[in-house]
Amino acid sequence: MTQMWDVVIIGGGLAGYIAANYLAKSDLSILILEKGNKVGGRAQTEKIKQDYFNLGPHALYKKGKAAVILEELDIKLDGGSPKLGGILTRNTKEYTAPFNPLGLLTTSLLNWKERIEWIFILSKIQQVDTQALADQTFQEWVEKGVQSKNVQSLLFVLGRLSTYCHCPEKVSAKIVVTHIKTSLGGVLYLHDGWQTIIDQLHNKAVIKGVQIKTHFIVKQVIPTEHRSLKMILSNNEEIFCKYVISTTGPLELTNLLGEIENVKANNIFSQLTPVKGASLDISLSQLPHPKKLFALDMNDSLYYSVHSNVASLSENRKNSIVHVFKYYHPDDSIDSIKVRNELEQFLETMQPGWRDVCVTSRFLPNITVNQRLPLVGHEKYFQRSETEIPGLYIAGDWASPHYILSEGAACSGKQAAEEIIQKEVISCRSAMKSINN
C-alpha cells in the first residue's frame, strides 16, 4: 500500500469499476479503495433466503449508454424485458396505461383528442434535440408544448419513471427528456440482480492486475508539491498517486478536500441535492392477482412492479419478487412509518391479500437513488472529469453533464479513464520529444 500508484479510485461501485476496466487496458497501476466490506455501491444485490433483491427497483436501458459501455467491456447482460403497459391509478380509480397501442385504444384516461396529442408528444420526444432544452425546466417544457392536463400528467409520470426525479419544476428538461427518450427503447431486468454486473467487472479488473481493497476509508485528499496526490486513510495510513478518481458523492468529496484554497468546485459540490426515495421489496410465494404486474400512481408518486415476471430473481421459481417504490420530492419531510403504510396500501390494491403469501419483506425508507438532482445549468460544471485540483477526477451518477443514474455513472467512469489515459499519452510524447531534442 505504501507504493506510488498511478491511479487510485475511491469507491468500488459501477463508475469506479468501469473506470478501472478502461484504465486496465494501459500499463498504469490501479488501486480501488472501497469503504464497505462489499463492493458494488448502489448496484449491490442482497440475497435474502432464496431471493435476490436489488437496492429498490433497478432497470437497465436496453438502448442506453450504460449498456453500450458494458458491452464494450465484454460484460454479459442477461435478463428479461417487461412489456409496455400496465395500470395508472388516480384518486383510487384504475386506468389502462396508454403505453402500448392496445392501451392507447382502450384507456378511459384520455379522450380522442388527448390520445392524438399523446401520440404526437411521444413522436416529438423521439426526434427532439435535447441539447436545445438545456435552459428550461421539465415542467416549463411540458406546459409550453402540451395543452391537455391529462397528457401533461402522463409526461410527469413518465419523467418520474425514467429518472426517479419527482421535482419537474426544478429539474432540467434536457436530462429528463433524454432519459425518457432512452427509456422508450425498453428496459432490462437482470437475472440474479445488478450484482452480476459488478461481479463481472470485478473479475475482469482483477485478471488485468487491478488491486481492490475493501473496508478502507479515505479521510482526506491532499495535493503535494510534487504534482502528486496524497490520501490519508481513517487509520492515518498515507497513500500517494498521480491520479485520483473519486466516485463518492459530492458532499463526501467536499469533506475529503477539506479546506483546500481556491477550489470553486467545492462550493458547487456542497450545494448539490440528492434524489431520494423509499422502497418496499417483497417476495411472495404466489401472486394473488397474477395479471397485475405494473402500476404507477399519478397523484402520490408511487410505483409497483413484479420484476420476477421477466427476470430470474429467486432460487425458488414459484416466488415472485415485487418492488413498491415512493419517489420523494426534495422538500419532503420523511415519515418512515407513514411511507411504509402508504407503500403497503398501494401493494394491497394491486395484490390483495399479499400478507398471507409473503415470504420476505424489506423496507428501505430513505434510499439515495442519485447523488445529484439535475437542475438547469448544472451541465457546465461537468464537461470535464478533472477538477480544479490537478490529478483529481470525479465520476459517478452525479458527475455527467448529460445523464444521471447508471447512465451517468457509466459515462463519467469511462470519461475519467479516457482523460487520464489521454494525459498520460501527451506526457509520454512530451518526454520522448525532450529526449530526442
Tens of pLDDT, residues 64-80 = 999 999 999 999 999 99
* Residue among 367, 402, 429 nearest 66 (CA): 402
Domain layout of the chain by residue ranges: 4-43+195-272+374-436, 45-60+275-370, 87-183
Q: Give Cα separations from 213 to 30, 248, 289, 321 (angstroms).
A: 11, 16, 46, 32
Tally Cβ neighbours within 10 Å of residue 81: 14
Q: Give the helix/strand (H/E) hosting 277.
A: strand 275-284
pLDDT bin (cut points 50, 70, 90) of residue 60 is very high
User: Of residues 3 and 251, which shows the higher confidence score?
Assistant: 251
Range from 25-29, 112-116, 429-433 carrying the lowest mean pLDDT: 429-433
Number of continuous H segments (helices) and E segments (strands) in the chain: 12, 19
pLDDT for the residue 227 = 77
pLDDT bin (cut points 50, 70, 90) of residue 1 is low
Q: Quick one: residue 333, left, alpha or beta (phi over 0 = left, psi -120 to 50 = alpha)?
A: beta
What's the CATH code, domain 4-43+195-272+374-436? 3.50.50.60
pLDDT for the residue 42 = 95
The mean pLDDT value for 328-355 works out to: 97
Give the span between the Cα atoms of 28 and 422, in whole angstroms.
12
3-class DSSP state for residue 149? helix
Range from 80-84, 130-134, 265-269 carrying the lowest mean pLDDT: 265-269
Q: Are 298 and 88 in contact (CB under 8 A)?
A: yes
Give the span between the Cα atoms of 134 and 250, in whole angstroms.
22
pLDDT bin (cut points 50, 70, 90) of residue 270 is confident
Torsion of Cα atoms, 53 then 54 then 55 then 59, to 10°: -140
Give the span between the Cα atoms of 16 and 6, in whole angstroms.
15
Give the span between the Cα atoms of 58 and 279, in whole angstroms.
11
Q: Tell which CATH architecture fits domain 87-183.
A: Orthogonal Bundle (1.10)
Amino acid at 221: V
pLDDT bin (cut points 50, 70, 90) of residue 226 is confident
Joined together, the cell numbers standing for residue 425 give 499519452
pLDDT for the residue 426 = 76
How many Å is the Cα radius of gyration of the chain?
23
- Do the domains 4-43+195-272+374-436 and 87-183 sit in the same CATH topology, yes or no? no
Computed over every residue of the chain, the mean pLDDT equals: 94
With 70 as the cut, is the pLDDT of residue 387 above it? yes
pTM: 0.95
